[in-house]
Structure formats: structure tokens, C-alpha cells
Structure 1
Amino acid sequence: MPGSPFGRAVLAALVEKGAPYRLAPVAPGALKSPEHLARHPFGRVPVLEHDGFLLYETQAILRYLDRVLPQPALTPSDPKRAARMDQVMNVNDWYLFHNVANVIVFHRVIGPRVMGLVPDEAAIAAAMPKALTVFNELAHLLGEKPYFAGDSLSLADLMLAPAVEFFAMIPEWSSLGAPHANLMAWLTRMQERPSMTATTWERVSELAKAA
């Protein structure tokens, strides 16, 4: 589904691995269809099918891909760096997405662009305190490193970048991301990677139409 940051993380990982794939797009209105629920009983995306093996949940998919497509490695061999990667991935799922991205990004980007909705300014304002906490912590976790788990790209960066890029598109970025020079530099670094340029909303929409 174009616009899904979780789906984009998986596509970006496949590009980083240089792995061929076939995109099977699911329209928002089909997420609860019997056909899709047979693949994902909770009606979400993404879902991976590989050699007859079905797998949902983005973190599980990313780790699976890193095991079956080992080069280049996207999980640090150092235990502490691998733990930091895991931590950041969970910050993305439990704190950035829940009640932050799924409120602010929904009302600023997804709702207006996909559903023609008017942003709910009260809902956005209510989510901003938690958003500030999340972005302050992300800047702290990144520190002076080029990537969240150290000197090399990891699954954490691929999972986080699609969501953070949405925030960079909206007015709230001036309060959330712009005050953190390290996050700004990291996002630029990520946006310059071929895996990100190949998986933009526009590019995935083109792939979906051709599927």
C-alpha cells in the first residue's frame, strides 16, 4: 500500500539487499477483505510471502530478510549495537507510531491526501507533547553516530526513516526535528540512499499500478 511507512521499510530492505521482489498492492479498502485477512488476520500491511512462507509484522519480516539474505548485513554483530538497533525499532513501533505518527501524520498527510479529510488541529495539538518526547529521545539515542546502531546502516534506520520523513513534510517538523542537527543530518543521509529514493510514495504508486 503506497504511503505505508512499514511497507516502505520492507521494500527499502529488499533494495539494500539487491533482492528482486514482486509487489502485490492492497488498497486501503481491501485491508479487511477475506482474501487479505487470510494473509494477515489483523488486516494490516506489510505481508511477506517467500517460497510459500507467509509472514506479517514488519520487525519479523525485516529480521527474516536479514537472515535469508545475509549480505549486506543489516544487523550489527556487536551485541550492544544490536541491542540499540532493537531498542530503536521498538521506539518506532510503540512510541513514534502509537498516538504520535498515527495521529499527527494521519491528520496532516494521510487523511487529507488519501481520504480528503480536513486535519483535526485539536488532535494534532494533543499529540505534540508525546511527539516532542519521542523526537528528543531519538536525537539522544542517535548522538554523534551516522546511524542509530553505529557506523553502518541497520534495520533500525530503515524502519525509522519512512516515518520520520513524513514528519519532515509537515509544519510540526520545525518543533520536532529541526532543533536536532544530528537527526536532520541523519534524515538527509537516509534520503540520499537508493533504497529510499526507490521507495517513495510516488515510486511505489507507479509500481502498484504496474503490478
Structure 2
Amino acid sequence: MNRLYHVALSPFCRKVRLTLAEKKIEVELIEERYWEPSPDFLRRNPAGKVPVLRLDNRMMSESQAICEYIEETVPTPPLLPRDPEGRYEVRRLCGWFDDKFNQEVTRKVMGERVWKKVMKKGYPDSKTVKEGLSAIKFHIDYMSWLLDQRRWLAGDAMTLADFTAAAHLSCLDYISDVDWNRSDVVKDWYAKIKSRPAFRSLLADQLPGMPPAPQYAELDF
């Protein structure tokens, strides 16, 4: 049985889940408390990070590498363009969200408001949360600029770049920390992603002691 060792509100795990679901690859989801690493988990990934995917008896880590492996082995439906320029743009935007957006927004907001509570590391630092919520405005404006020129973030077709961005934003939306009124075009883009069958398992996520925001699972939000 294929297995994905993951954490429900990790954007990196969500990116892999979306990719697997879009390709119709069935996996068993195993919650992994990576901050309390077990010897078994460290054997699966000595880096002590999630996601870890066991696929066809191969153990894989690092979300971008996993997604590109899946793309190469199961090319339909495609999540990367065929031309080098298009693939570059997808990879650039995946890096934008997994690096820049994660550092400036996800880590600050989710780290303080969710993971400190889950890991029992004290109370949120309001200054750090405010910094993250301020930074997200710039990123939404950038996405809006991209989507004014394209149907999807990286071009005319949905790609891994869209799944990467949606993975981060969906985590923040779980705790109602995305101002969807800031950009109609970004809200419409997210509504299209959110309505895909691949997104259904994400919308069913429930963190113990921390229920999702009311609009989180609503397709018409």
C-alpha cells in the first residue's frame, strides 16, 4: 500500500496530496508528529521532515522532488508544461511560494497561531503574526498581477505552481487569515482550485481542538 506520512496543515504535504489526487494515485495518509520524531520516522527520512512518500516500495522526501517524480512517472494529466520556458516559470513560482511566501507569511502566521499551540511551545507572538498578515497583501497583489495576464499563475493551463500556491493559502484559510476581498481575480482563481476533486480531502481536514473557519470548506465563499 502506498503511504504518505504527512501533517494535515503542512503546505508541503498538501502540495503532494494535491498532485497525487490529481493523478488519481491512491495513498494511505499517515499523520506524522515530526516534532516528536520516532526512530522509524527518522529511518524513513533522516532529515526529520514531512512529507515522506512511500510509493511502489520507494521512500521519497522533499515535496518538490516528489511532485516532479510523480509528474515524470505519471504524465497525465500534466502539471508541468512541455516547453523549457514554461517549466522554468512553474518551477520559479513553486520556489516563490515554498521559499519566499513560506518565510514571510506561512511560517510566521501558522507557526505562531497553530504550531505553537500544537507543539505546546507557548503563546503566539502578536508582532510576528502581524508581520505575516501584512506580507500576505504583497503576495496577493503579485498573484493578482500574474492572473491579470494569464488564466493560471504560470500560464494558460493549471500547473504545479497553482497547487503550490493553493497549498499555502489553504492552510491560512483554515484559520481565516486570507483577505479574499483584496483581489477578485485571486478569489476566483482559488475558487476554481478549491472546486477540483483533488481538493476534497483537504477540505475534510480537521485539526483536533482547532476547527476550521466557517468558510474553509465552502465552495461558494
Asked if 2 retains the 8 angstrom alpha-carbon contact of 1:144 and 1:182, the reply is: no
1:148-190 deviation line (CA, Å, top 9, x unaligned): 122322111112102112333556533xx53222211111111
Alpha-carbon shift at residue 19 of structure 1 (Å) = 1.4
Task: List gaps (5 residues or longer) in structure 2.
Answer: 1-6, 209-221
CA–CA distance in structure 2, aligned partners of residues 146 and 109 of structure 1: 33
Alpha-carbon spacing, 1:35–1:169, altered in 2? closer, same or farther (3 Å): closer
> 1:53: how far off?
2.2
Q: Distance in 2 between matches of 1:28 and 1:160?
A: 23
**Count of aligned residue pairs for this structure pair:** 202
Q: Contact 2:101–2:139 (CA<8 Å) still a contact in 1?
A: yes
SS at match of 2:28: coil
Shift of 1:129: 4.5
3-state SS, counterpart of residue 44 of structure 1: coil
User: Which has the higher mean CA deviation after the structures are superposed, 13-22 or 129-138?
Assistant: 129-138
Please report how far the alpha carbon of residue 97 of structure 1 lies from its aligned counterpart in structure 2 after TM superposition. Answer: 0.6
Q: Residues of 1 paired with 2:195 and 2:155: CA distance?
A: 18
1:125–1:203 distance in 2 versus 1, CA, 3 Å: closer
Higher normalized helix content (fraction of residues)? 1
Larger relative contact order, structure 1 or 2 (CA cutoff 8 Å, min sep 6): 1
**Percentage of identical aligned residues:** 25
Residue 134 of structure 1 and its aligned partner are, at CA, apart by: 2.8
In the alignment, is residue 185 of structure 1 matched against residue 191 of structure 2? no
Instruction: Give the letter for the 2:152 counterpart.
Output: Y
Name the structure 1 match of 2:199. 196
Which secondary structure state, in structure 2, belongs to the residue aligned with residue 49 of structure 1? strand
Match in the other structure for 1:158: 163
1:143 correspondence with 2:120 = no
* TM-score computed with the length of structure 2 as normaliser: 0.79
| Residue of structure 1 in register with 2:12 after alignment | 6
Cα RMSD between the aligned structures? 2.5
Query: Does 2:23 match 1:20?
Result: no
User: What SS does structure 1 have at the residue aligned with 2:20?
Assistant: helix
Compare 141-150 and 16-25 and name the one that shifted more. Answer: 141-150
* Alpha-carbon distance in structure 1 between the residues aligned to 2:204 and 2:12: 12
Structure 1: segments with no counterpart, 5+ residues: 206-211
Q: What residue in structure 1 maps to residue 66 of structure 2?
A: 61
